[in-house]
Amino acid sequence: MAQRRSTALTSRVRVLVVDDNAGFRDSLQTLLDTDDLLVVGQAASGRDAITMVRTTVPDVVLMDVRMPDMDGIETTRRLKALDPRIGVVALTGNDDQRAVRDMLVAGASGYVLKDSRGDEILNAVHAAASGGGVISPEVTPSVIEELTEALERERRRIRQLEIAQEALLERAARRHELVSRLGHELRTPVTVILGMAQTMGHPSATEPERMEMRERLIARAQDLSRLVERFEAAMEAGMTEWADVVDVAQAVAEDHDRVIVDAPVAPLMASLNRQAACRILEELVENAVAFSPPDQAVTVRVSLRGNSPEVRVSDRGPGIDPELVERMFAPMEQGEGLNTRTHQGAGLGLALARMSARAMDGDVTLERTGPDGSVFLWTLALAG
């Protein structure tokens, strides 16, 4: 981002106008064309605003709340993450109390209605530039009540995080106990197996005794193998933890120039094994990169549906043959015939990704496919 200019050293406050209505943007520009304000740009969407902020370096963003694709609330969150010093004044056509609260929680300095008098809008911009804030009188009492409720919810969320931390400590204690038990349980059959092997090698052992010992040795080895499998399953089930899905997505994307991550600025927590989660997403991303044209990007979109985190990996490939959809998650299956295959591999990737996801109470599915590409959906379990 370009270096911010100090309003103390410049005579005019730099303002970026963001609204999906071109006519209203022009009206605001006319209103803001004063000796002490300078409109440095207009943006028709939240995404355009984020791009323009990097080059225009505004002091204040006049932000429409209701916009398609990315609303003013999410845009404000992202702008404040990019530069906490930016002042944001929210604008809307109605006194939607929930929108007021969400904008203020996201970081807006003030909130005015679109039908407010011109001097109220100008005052809100000046207040935001100086680090203050203005809220239209029509919505102030309700907003105070809404913010009080929001703070109470935040207090409950902090308590939930404390409970989650306590659960992690308890889980770590159980893991230690499990490892101790594993050592004890493994020593017994190993000791027996070693004793049998020594008996078989003793010069005085007869051939029938050696045959009997060999059969018992095989049986003990099979018991030991089953014991190890049971402990592996138990260890895997106990290795999930409170982790940030957004961080996992960004970590995987770092290894791929063509991968774009579309995710909330705030962490999105889930109950997962981070190493296994990275493997799942790596399989999905590598699959998408392999089947997309080399000049096309792959998108990893992280979102929350109800209480369930979701990750979508979208490619720009030719789509998947409907006859292969049901078999594509089976081991050793690929979406290409052996005689025409251009993307080499054992065909285990999607099968392993689904197995790992289901082991953490989630799933990997094909959400949709067509000639313009495919979207794989990874659902996760809510942490806690």
Q: Which residue has the higher pLDDT, 46 or 95?
A: 46
pLDDT at 58 over 80: yes
CATH architecture of 241-379: 2-Layer Sandwich (3.30)
pLDDT at site 361: 79
d(CA 276, CA 380): 12
pLDDT digits (tens, 9 = 90+) for 19-38: 999 999 999 999 998 889 99
What distance, in Å, lies between the first and last C-alpha atoms of the chain? 37
Q: Which residue has the higher pLDDT, 299 or 212?
A: 299
Which residues lie closer than 8 Å to 301 by C-beta, 6 or more apart? 261, 262, 263, 311, 312, 314
Q: What are the residue ranges spanned by the domains of the chain?
A: 13-138, 157-237, 241-379
Return the H-helix or E-strand segment holding 82: helix 72-82
pLDDT at site 338: 31
d(CA 382, CA 272): 9
Q: Which residue has the higher pLDDT, 166 or 23?
A: 23
Cβ(145)–Cβ(104) under 8 Å?
no
Output the CA–CA distances (angstroms, integers) from residue 134 to 3, 119, 241, 331, in the order listed. 27, 12, 42, 60
Joined together, the tokens standing for residue 183 give 């050592």
Return the H-helix or E-strand segment holding 184: helix 140-201
Cβ(248)–Cβ(274) under 8 Å?
yes
| Domains 13-138 and 241-379 agree in fold | no
CATH 3.40.50.2300 is right for the domain spanning 13-138 = yes
pLDDT at 344 over 50: no
pLDDT at 301 over 90: yes
- Beta strands 87-92 and 241-244: pairing type? unpaired
Q: Which residue has the higher pLDDT, 52 or 339?
A: 52
pLDDT digits (tens, 9 = 90+) for 202-239: 788 788 887 888 888 787 777 777 666 655 544 554 46
Q: Select from 127, 98, 122 the least CA-distant residue to 29.
A: 122
Give the mean model confidence (pLDDT) for residues 266-278. 84
pLDDT digits (tens, 9 = 90+) for 252-263: 999 889 999 999
**Range with lowest mean pLDDT among 133-137, 155-159, 308-312:** 133-137
Q: Select from 20, 23, 80, 74 the least CA-distant residue to 45.
A: 20
Question: What predicted TM-score, i.e. pTM, was given to this entire model?
Answer: 0.40
pLDDT digits (tens, 9 = 90+) for 96-108: 677 777 888 888 8
From the number of C-beta atoms within 10 Å of its C-beta (0-12, 13-18, 19+), residue 187 rates as: exposed
pLDDT at site 2: 56
pLDDT at site 266: 85
Place of tokens 């028709």: 44
% residues pLDDT > 70 (the chain)? 74
pLDDT at site 336: 43
